[in-house]
């Protein structure tokens, strides 16, 4: 376990909230133009290298982030090393919704990540002065809560095949919502990450994917999956 505890490298080049491509998918969509510029003044653009930590469970969170590019994994660890990935953050996703001082989970970069960073304290104050943004944060948190509850059903009551299929369809939907709709779903994370997200082992993930592949429901492609039989997949996910 080797944290690179760096804070990423600040890259303040040509950022402009007004023309930001991820804005419509982010919490910033809740802000009028004027406030947007105020928020921009608070923000810095940061790059994270692969495996670099965005935040560490239990430690004070200096910043909150909106992911701009790449994919981060959010996870919790047990003292004995067991890991549960509680989510993957894609472009547009906000990390640090709770605004709590100490982070409830760890987060690191799966590959190179670019994010919009806000100092937590300053952002919190900013929010307090803008109920509309707070409302948006709350809606976002509520949405995450409902996703987490779906995940509880997945982990508590679904078998390996269902978990994998739900995972793939869920990812597809998320990519669709940020304008990357496709039958080919990118899998920026490794098999072990998928396993730790779905409460399985890497072997079971691999076997299940190859079985789905043999049965012509999916096609495994480099760093992704093509969904071949949407109907059957949806039927499996429905339960």
Partner DNA sequence: CGAAGAATTGAGTCCTATCAAATGCCGTGG
Partner DNA sequence: CCACGGCATTTGATAGGACTCAATTCTTCG
Judged by the rule CB under 7 A, the positions of this chain that interact with DNA are 159-161, 190-192, 199-207, 209-210, 220, 222-223
- In angstroms, the CA 146 to CA 7 distance is 30
The binder of 113, among a second copy, DNA, none, by C-beta within 5 to 8 A per type, is none
Judge contact between 25 and 127, C-beta under 8 A: no
User: 98-137 mask for a second copy (x: CB under 8 A)?
Assistant: xxx---xx----------------------x--x--xx-x
Judge contact between 76 and 87, C-beta under 8 A: no
The least CB distance from residue 204 to DNA, in Å, is 3
Helices (H), the chain: 33-42, 120-128, 131-157, 160-177, 191-198, 202-214, 230-238
User: 150-169 mask for a second copy (x: CB under 8 A)?
Assistant: xxxx-xxxx-----------
Q: If you write DSSP's letter for every residue of 182-234 in order, what string do you get?
A: -SEEE--S-HHHHHHHHT--HHHHHHHHHHHHHTTSEEEETTEEEE--HHHHH
The binder of 98, among a second copy, DNA, none, by C-beta within 5 to 8 A per type, is a second copy
Between 11 and 152, whose beta carbon lies closer to a second copy? 152
Name the one residue in this structure whose structure tokens are 């510029």: 37
Neighbours of 78 (CB within 10 A): 8
Q: Which of 17, 172, 196, 209 binds a second copy (CB under 8 A)?
A: 196
The least CB distance from residue 73 to DNA, in Å, is 13
Please, how many CA atoms are within 13 Å of residue 127, restricted to the half-sphere of its CB? 20
Listed in sequence order, the residues at least 6 apart from 102 whose beta carbon sits closer than 8 Å to its beta carbon are: 58, 59, 60, 61
The binder of 121, among DNA, a second copy, none, by C-beta within 5 to 8 A per type, is none
The binder of 205, among a second copy, DNA, none, by C-beta within 5 to 8 A per type, is DNA
- In angstroms, the CA 227 to CA 230 distance is 6
Judge contact between 25 and 67, C-beta under 8 A: no
The least CB distance from residue 164 to DNA, in Å, is 10
Between 50 and 173, whose beta carbon lies closer to a second copy? 173
**Residue 82 is a binding residue for a second copy (CB under 8 A):** yes
Span 131-150, contacts to a second copy by CB under 8 A: 131, 134-135, 137-139, 141-146, 148-150
The least CB distance from residue 117 to DNA, in Å, is 26
Listed in sequence order, the residues at least 6 apart from 155 whose beta carbon sits closer than 8 Å to its beta carbon are: 163, 198, 199
Residues of this chain that interact with a second copy (CB under 8 A) are 76, 78-80, 82-84, 86, 97-100, 104-105, 128, 131, 134-135, 137-139, 141-146, 148-153, 155-158, 196-199, 238-239
């Amino acid at each position: 376990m080797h944290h690179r505890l760096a804070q990423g490298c600040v890259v303040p080049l040509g950022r402009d909230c007004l023309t930001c491509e991820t804005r419509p998918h982010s919490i910033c969509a809740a802000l009028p133009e004027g406030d947007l510029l105020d928020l921009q003044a608070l923000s810095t653009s940061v790059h994270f290298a692969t495996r670099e930590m965005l935040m560490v469970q239990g430690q004070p969170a200096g910043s909150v982030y909106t992911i701009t590019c790449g994919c981060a994994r959010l996870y919790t660890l047990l003292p004995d090393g067991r890991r549960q990935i509680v989510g993957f953050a894609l472009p547009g996703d906000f990390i640090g919704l709770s605004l709590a001082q100490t982070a409830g989970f760890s987060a690191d970069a799966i590959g190179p990540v670019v994010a919009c960073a806000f100092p937590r304290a300053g952002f919190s104050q900013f929010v307090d002065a803008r109920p509309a943004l707070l409302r948006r944060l709350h809606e976002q948190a509520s949405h995450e809560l409902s996703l987490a509850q779906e995940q509880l059903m997945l982990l508590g009551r679904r078998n390996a095949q269902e978990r994998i299929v739900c995972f793939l369809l869920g990812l597809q939907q998320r990519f669709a919502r940020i304008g990357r709709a496709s039958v080919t779903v990118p899998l920026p994370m490794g098999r072990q990450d998928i396993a730790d997200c779905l409460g399985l082992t890497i072997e079971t993930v691999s076997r299940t994917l190859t079985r789905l592949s043999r049965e012509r429901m999916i096609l495994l492609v480099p760093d992704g999956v093509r969904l071949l039989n949407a109907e059957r997949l949806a039927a499996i996910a429905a339960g």
